Amino acid sequence: MIKHLQDTIELNNGLKMPGMGLGVFQVANDATAEMVKEAIEVGYRSIDTASIYGNESGVGMGIKQALASTDLQREDLFITSKVWNDGLNYDETKRAYEESLNELGLDYLDLYLIHWPGKDKYTESWRALEDLYIEGKIKAIGVCNFNTGHLKDLLSFARIKPVLNQVEFHPRLQQENLRDFCVTHHIQLEAWAPLMQGGLLKNETLSKIASNHGKTIAQVVLKWDIQNGVITIPKSVRKERMKQNADIFDFNLTDEEMMTINKLNLDQRVGPNPDEYDFTL
pLDDT tens sequence across 112-139: 999 999 877 899 999 999 999 999 999 9
State yes or no: is 90 an active-site residue: no
State pTM to two decimals.
0.96
Count CA atoms closer than 13 A to 136's CA, side-chain side. Answer: 0
Q: What is the pLDDT of residue 119?
A: 77
In this structure, is residue 269 part of a structural domain? no
Radius of gyration of the CA atoms of the chain, in A: 18
- Greater confidence (277 vs 17) lies with 17
In this structure, is residue 83 part of a structural domain? yes
The CATH number assigned to the domain holding 142 equals 3.20.20.100
Known binding-site residue numbers for substrate: 115
Task: Return the amino acid letter for 86.
Answer: D
DSSP letter string, 196-254: GGGTTTT-HHHHHHHHHHT--HHHHHHHHHHHTT-EE----SSHHHHHHHH--SS----
In this structure, is residue 274 part of a structural domain? no
Catalytic residue among 53, 97, 122, 133: 53
Tens-digit pLDDT profile for residues 136-167: 999 999 999 999 999 999 999 999 999 999 99
In this structure, is residue 273 part of a structural domain? no
Residues 6+ apart with CB under 8 A from 102: none
In this structure, is residue 84 part of a structural domain? yes
Tens-digit pLDDT profile for residues 49-72: 999 999 999 999 999 999 999 999
In this structure, is residue 3 part of a structural domain? no
Count structural domains, the chain. 1
Please give the residue range of the domain that contains residue 104: 8-262
Going by C-alpha positions, the residue among 217, 220, 218, 252 that lies closest to residue 234 is 218
Known binding-site residue numbers: 115
Tens-digit pLDDT profile for residues 213-237: 999 999 999 999 999 999 999 999 9
Q: What is the pLDDT of residue 278?
A: 66
Tell whether the model's pLDDT for residue 279 goes beyond 70: no
Tell whether the model's pLDDT for residue 281 goes beyond 60: no
In this structure, is residue 96 part of a structural domain? yes
In this structure, is residue 108 part of a structural domain? yes
